[in-house]
Each structure stands twice: as C-alpha cells, then as structure tokens.
Structure 1
C-alpha cells in the first residue's frame, strides 16, 4: 500500500507498507522500526507477539511521545494491560492497530505536529519468530 502525505517539517515520513517492509523516506525497512517525525530506530523488537512485554516497549519512552501507535502486523492484536503501565503513568496514550493503519495514522498526526511515535511490527517477523 502506498501512502501519500504533503511534505512539511517532518524529517521522517512513511511512504508505504506491506507485510514485509515499511518504506520511510523512500527507503524500505524489512525489520520492525520505531519512528517519530524526527527520529528512527531500526534495532527494535524481534520475536513472537507473546514476547512483546514492558521491557521491549520501554524503548519507545525514549522518544518522549504523547501518543504511541503500536502497529501489530497484518491483524490487530492487543498488548496485555500490565505492559502499558509505564505509558499510563506518564499519561501517554497507546493505540494498538494493524501496521498499515498505524502508518496512515502516524502520517496524519505527524502532519498536525503531534508528538506521535509509531512502533511498527511486521507480520513476517511475528510469524517467523514463532
């Protein structure tokens, strides 16, 4: 799926997504990534969905977000509420959605200058790891 966004002040923009990769600034990333409008991290979570816990999610807090969009692959999955406590204590909203929906939502919120971070998992990695 290709995504379109008017260019603005964002350093990082998501341009496309499929089960195998996310395209950010015209570069494909075939691994899970965390992206904000000003930062990108490519050495994030690797493993089955069941292993995604508070420790793996804590990396996201380094981005100082107001909103976290957790892209859960090709299907919507929900993180266990006990793993969200660090976010709730900082009044950070966390939304779980498919990775494609997280990418679209990221572009919209980022264009509105919101402090949004997308933590994007790819179905391929979730399947390979299990």
Structure 2
C-alpha cells in the first residue's frame, strides 16, 4: 500500500492559534497585540489607527530583499478598509493589499504559507 505523506509546510512563522483578547500565538509565543509577519520572521507591531496607516508603518515587512506578492492586512475584529493612499502606494510597488478581519487573515496566512507563497502580513489584534 502506498503511503500518503503530507508535503512539508513552508518554514518560518505560522500562526498556531488566537489567545484571549485576540492575541496571536506563533508556535509557543503569544504576541501581546498587533503583529508583523514575513515568511522568515514575526515581530510585535505598534500599529497606528487604521485610517492613519502609511507604507512606512509596514516597511519592516514590505521592504525586504524579496518583495512579497502581497500584504495580508488584518484589520482587527471586523473588516475595515485601509486608506486608499496606502493601497495605491503599495500597488505602485507591485505589492497588492488584501484586507480582512484579523481572524480570517490568520487562517489565510497559515494556508498560503503552507503552500509556500511569499507574502507579508500586518495584523491588528483580533479583539480590537
């Protein structure tokens, strides 16, 4: 009988859960609030108010050697639209922006990284 082994998942940070207050768990570490992710790293993020978001606020994850396909933007407990100027500035650099509530964004991050996609994420705590 042939074995059906699961293909290995991509390396780097994977969201393994959402803790109390909508905080994100990466492996055994719970981040205290907002989070920035690249395929190689996870960092706490001092997120601005969504309507004040600028490309400089996410430069840590978009200005990396290999530019991400797009930025997955988790907007907190509900879907909110980011400023048009923010989206336009990233799109001008060929980085798309996909906004969704942060719980959905956490699930999408894990699925897409499991597929080996080269993306970045900026996630506001899911309880906010």
The answer to whether the superposition gives a TM-score over 0.5 is yes
Unmatched segments (≥5 aa) in structure 1:
1-5
2:92 is aligned to: 89
1:21 is aligned to: 23
Q: Distance in 1 between matches of 2:31 and 2:63?
A: 21
2:3 is aligned to: none
Shift of 1:89: 1.3
Larger Rg computed on CA atoms: 2
Deviating more after overlay: 33-42 vs 64-73? 33-42
Contact 1:99 1:121 in 2 (8 A): yes
Contact 1:34 1:41 in 2 (8 A): yes
Which protein has the bigger helix share? 1
Contact 1:58 1:86 in 2 (8 A): no
Q: Distance in 2 between matches of 1:7 and 1:15?
A: 16
Q: Distance in 1 between matches of 2:114 and 2:126?
A: 26
After TM superposition, the runs of 4+ consecutive aligned structure 1 residues lying more than 4 A away are: none
Shift of 1:123: 5.0
